[in-house]
Amino acid sequence: MEWLKEVRITDWIQIVIALIALFSTGAALATARQGKKSLELSKQQRQDTIRPKIIIKESAYWMRIKSGQLGNYYTEDLLQERVEIPIKNIGLHYATDININWNINQDKIIDFIQKNQTDSKFIDYYKDQQLFIPESSVHFYNKPFKSAISYLEVNKILMVEVPYEFIFLMRCLFFLILDKNLTPEEYIEYTSFIMEVSYKNILGDTINKEIFDIEMKIEVETNEIADGRLDNAEGKVIFRNSSDNH
């Protein structure tokens, strides 16, 4: 312990000061960490109070085939040129900057239709991602399907139009399903698509994403055959989130 006798008072003072500084730094770091946690918790609580939540609602239409022609969509007795899926905000605040991406495997659906269409020819040909339709002599492209919405209030429902290309192909499929008496197992993979919805909260600082696996359920009401071919038919087509059935 001889070294203690050689330590001067000024040295002891410096040691004490260094220890105090060390403890102060540690306390400051602990306080800073606690402050950061509190800030993060406060931010999370604030985001929770303004968190939006978008879901989709079931959408039902009647499909009517007359005189062996390609069917059309109806609501009651009103012909519908558009098919729409309702989305609803069940969260706590506005959803903003809503972007919808439709993931539709158009090539796969068209290939299935072309392989199954016989007397009733819905598609002339499909080449270079251009589809030529005999009923209207028009064509459309296999392109990314997107749509955007600026905002959606709480508990409000907004109708989102399903891309025309998919709706036309579903008209073809509806006819083929009834004409060839296909089972759901044979066509289910061709009557579904992915609807991806991304959106932000009112502050625009949090991105949420919902992925819906949309299926088109078919409920046939009438099915009349004339001369060996489908003549008149009526059925309900229901667009819904497949996970809602589990």
Q: Higher-confidence residue: 179 or 126? A: 179
- pTM reported for the whole predicted model: 0.74
> What is the pLDDT confidence band of residue 246, given thresholds at 50, 70 and 90?
very low
Region 55-74: what's the mean pLDDT? 89
159 with 237, same domain? yes
Same domain for 176 and 222, yes or no, is: yes
Q: For the ranges 115-124, 180-189, 201-210, 230-239, which has the lowest average pLDDT?
A: 115-124
From CA 18, how far away is CA 13, in angstroms rounded? 9
Same domain, 160 and 241: yes
Answer yes or no: are the C-beta atoms of 174 and 195 closer than 8 Å. no
Q: What is the mean pLDDT of the chain?
A: 80
User: What letter does residue 204 receive in the DSSP assignment?
Assistant: S
Based on the fold, state whether residues 123 and 166 are members of the same structural domain. yes
Domain co-membership, 110 together with 41: no
Query: Does residue 37 share a domain with residue 151?
Result: no
Residues 150 and 199 in one domain: yes
| Inter-residue contact 151 to 145 (CB < 8 Å) | no
Residues 41 and 96 in one domain: no
| Whether residue 21 is found in the same domain as residue 63 | no
Domain enclosing residue 23, as ranges: 2-46
In terms of domains, do 141 and 68 share one?
A: yes
Percent of the chain with pLDDT over 90: 26
pLDDT at 108: 87
Q: Lowest-pLDDT range, 122-126, 191-195, 210-214?
A: 122-126
Q: What is the pLDDT of residues 181-211, one digit of tens each?
A: 888 889 988 998 899 999 999 888 778 899 9
Contact assessment for residue 200 and residue 31, using Cβ atoms and an 8 Å cutoff: no
Task: Please state the domain count of the chain.
Answer: 2
Q: Based on the fold, state whether residues 17 and 66 are members of the same structural domain.
A: no
Mean pLDDT of 226-236: 83
**Residue 132 pLDDT exceeds 80:** no
Token look-up 């005999």 returns: 134
Which residue, 123, 119, 160, is CA-closest to 142?
A: 123
Q: How far apart are the first and last CA of the chain?
A: 79
Per-residue model confidence (pLDDT) at position 207: 82
